Amino acid sequence: MSEFKSQSSLKRADYVSFALVAMLPSLVMWFLFQRTTGIRLEDALITYRYAENIALGNGFVFNPGERVLGTTTPLYTLILAALGFVFGTASIPVASSILSALLGQLAGFLTFATLRRMQVSRLIALGTSLLLLTQPEIVVSATGGMETMLVVALMSGSLYAFTAGSSRVAVALCALLVLTRIDGVVWTSVIFLLILWRERENVLARILQFILILLPWIAFATFYFGSPVPHSVAAKGTVVYARIAELTPIENLAAHLRWFAGVLGPHRNYQWDYFHGAAYLYHAIMAAVVILLVCGIFAIARRVERRTLGALVLFPLLLLVAYWIGNAPRNFGWYLTPPLWCCMVVVGLGFESLFASVHREGLGTIKRTAFAISLTAMLGLVGFNSVEGHYSVSLNHGRYQELEDNLRTRVGTWLESNSPKNASVAMEAIGYQGTHAQRRIIDLAGLISPEVVRINSENPNRSVAFQQILAQLKPDFLVLRSFEVETNENWFGGSLFENEGQQRFFHKYYRIAEKFSHPDSDFWSRAGHLTIFARKD
């Protein structure tokens, strides 16, 4: 691995320039985004409740006494639990936000350091890091309180470690990555392919190291939960996203390809549509990114010492296949943050390749000028997408946070004040509502409720499954979107009630306890109304 020794350490100018050019502007952007939106993602609160229960001595549980691994991020949960134990459980949300921001900057710096080790110029490495850290989805991930930036930091750290000649450190970080999110096995497989390519004699030793690091968690989770695989993985495939099964494999692949186009960065929902040409602008930005991406791939392939960065090309492809085969959900943007990191780094290498073409000897003045103009246009389009995409995402997440604060939080606090402490509450959005309710939660999505997954597996008909959940689990309270009962529509698809008999059954045992509406219900339409039903005595 002698080709990795060409630049063993960063210079002082590298640290200073990264702090001024990439870190400081992105931190300002993140801070302003956090202040204007107040963002805290729904799924983050599920992890917070697990961490809180661990810190309080209630065990690794969402509902005390119920050992279900409903969070997909054990390592991040344990880190937050440790912080909650030291600083108090009330500090967990703030600690998560600070930690996520620090990890995001670490990921940016490790990316910069890897590029410099690969003999990428300081200017291009800085530009790539800045482009990465200001991507709208990166901003959301860095401020939303979830584990995503820990994932990207471990990925970028393992790649840097491998390029520095330490496959041992790279494998250790990959093991931590799998403990952070189970789909980290995809990136881990890429790193092992690199080890097989560069250090074939060390493959067995690295595999053994990987297993030994994971073994304590596997043993604990198998004993404590019954399986080291998060229960939420089964729930998402059985309850929430079973509708994907209605698509043919080709339709499903096409849907995943359209979804994965998000890793290229462009956003369709432009707010600055001055000339009603947002669609044309979107396609222009997409074309610019694709051209830079292709140039980056060729730049990696042409130089032997940079072929290790082919991992950044291979990973998104393998992840796409894994998500397609596993019927992964397509409505969570943060799932695409790790492959987005890969694509933005390759885009930076593509820009370097085209920039070098402008200064190529023997190139005529006209061709050189055309190259320069084209490159400037592409840079302008990519930069505009980051700025305008940030503005659009700020508006959207600000509205979503208002929905969480002014609707779901109110539902949770009402349940805490108006239900017995031993009451059970069935609901689908268990983050804000479940956390603030502080009651035993029956998750209609099944993430923390194996009984719900079992009932849905036994009853493919959603209406029948819903009736069985009420009949078998007998929740004391039930939170539904108001339209579900009023218009007989199940949030997960299909009808809530299959016939009048099911409707009579429901109204026989449940009554309306309270209704809630978002102040801006005209904007939120049906999603802005929730109803709490109480079981009749």
Report which residue type is found at 466.
F
User: At residue 23, what are phi and psi to the nearest 5 degrees?
Assistant: -70, -50
Q: What is the pLDDT of residue 6?
A: 45
* 152 and 296 inside one domain: yes
Banded model confidence at residue 2, pLDDT cuts 50, 70, 90: very low
Three-class secondary structure of residue 442 per DSSP = strand
Domain termination site, one of 399, 417, 446: 399
The verdict on 311 and 414 lying in the same domain is no
Classify residue 24 as left (phi > 0), alpha (psi -120 to 50) or beta: alpha
Domain tally for the chain? 2
pLDDT band at 25 (very low <50, low <70, confident <90, very high): very high
Which pLDDT score is estimated for 506?
93
Model confidence at 330, pLDDT cuts 50, 70, 90, reads: confident
As a whole number, mean pLDDT of residues 302-327 equals 89
Domain boundary among 350, 376, 399: 399
Please report which confidence band the pLDDT of residue 126 belongs to, taking 50, 70 and 90 as the band edges.
very high
Instruction: Please tell me the predicted confidence (pLDDT) of residue 240.
Output: 56
Is it the case that residue 471 has pLDDT exceeding 90?
yes
The CB density around residue 98, as the number of other CB atoms within 10 Å, is 13
Q: Please tell me whether residues 378 and 496 are part of one structural domain.
A: no
| Domain span including residue 98 | 2-399
Tell me the HSE value of 438 on the side-chain side, using a 13 A CA sphere: 11
pLDDT digits (tens, 9 = 90+) for 498-517: 888 999 999 999 999 999 99
Predicted TM-score (pTM) of the model is 0.91
If asked whether residues 283 and 410 sit together in one domain, one would say: no
Check residue 276 and give its pLDDT.
47
Q: Chain-wide mean pLDDT for the chain?
A: 87
Strand order in the sheet with 424-427: 440-443, 424-427, 477-481, 529-535, 510-517
Q: 271 and 409 in one domain? A: no
pLDDT by residue (tens digit) across 341-363? Answer: 999 999 999 988 888 876 665 56
Residue spans of beta strands (DSSP E) within 191-231: none
Asked whether residue 390 falls in the same domain as residue 404, the answer is: no
270 plus 251 within the same structural domain: yes
Q: What is the pLDDT of residue 237?
A: 63
How large is the average pLDDT for residues 150-176? Answer: 96
- Alpha carbon distances (Å) from 98 to 27, 84, 143, 146: 11, 13, 8, 11
pLDDT tens string 221-258: 999 999 998 887 777 666 555 554 566 778 778 888 88
364 pLDDT tier (thresholds 50, 70, 90)? low
Q: Are 424 and 320 in the same domain?
A: no
Average pLDDT over residues 270-282: 54
Same domain, 240 and 275: yes
Element (DSSP H or E) covering residue 478? strand 477-481
Q: pLDDT digit string (tens) for 433-451? A: 999 999 999 999 888 999 9
Among candidate residues 376, 399, 422, the one where a domain is terminated: 399
> Higher-confidence residue: 399 or 53?
53
Extract the tokens encoding 75: 């390592």
Q: Cα separation of 166 and 4, whole Å?
A: 10
pLDDT of residue 265: 65
Do the Cβ atoms of 478 and 510 come closer than 8 Å? yes
349 and 212 co-located in one domain? yes
Question: What is the helix (H) or strand (E) element at residue 112, kind and residue range?
Answer: helix 92-117
Residue percentage of the chain with pLDDT more than 90? 61
Residues 338 and 410 in one domain: no
Q: Residue 204 pLDDT more than 80? A: yes
> What percent of the chain has a predicted confidence (pLDDT) above 70?
91
Side chain identity, residue 529: H
pLDDT of residue 7 exceeding 90: no
Q: What angle do CA 347, 349, 352 make, to 5 degrees?
A: 115
Going by pLDDT thresholds of 50, 70 and 90, the confidence category of residue 8 is: low
Q: Determine the pLDDT at residue 332.
A: 74
Tell me, yes or no, whether 216 and 315 share the same domain.
yes
Asked whether 238 and 456 are in contact (CB, 8 A), the reply is: yes
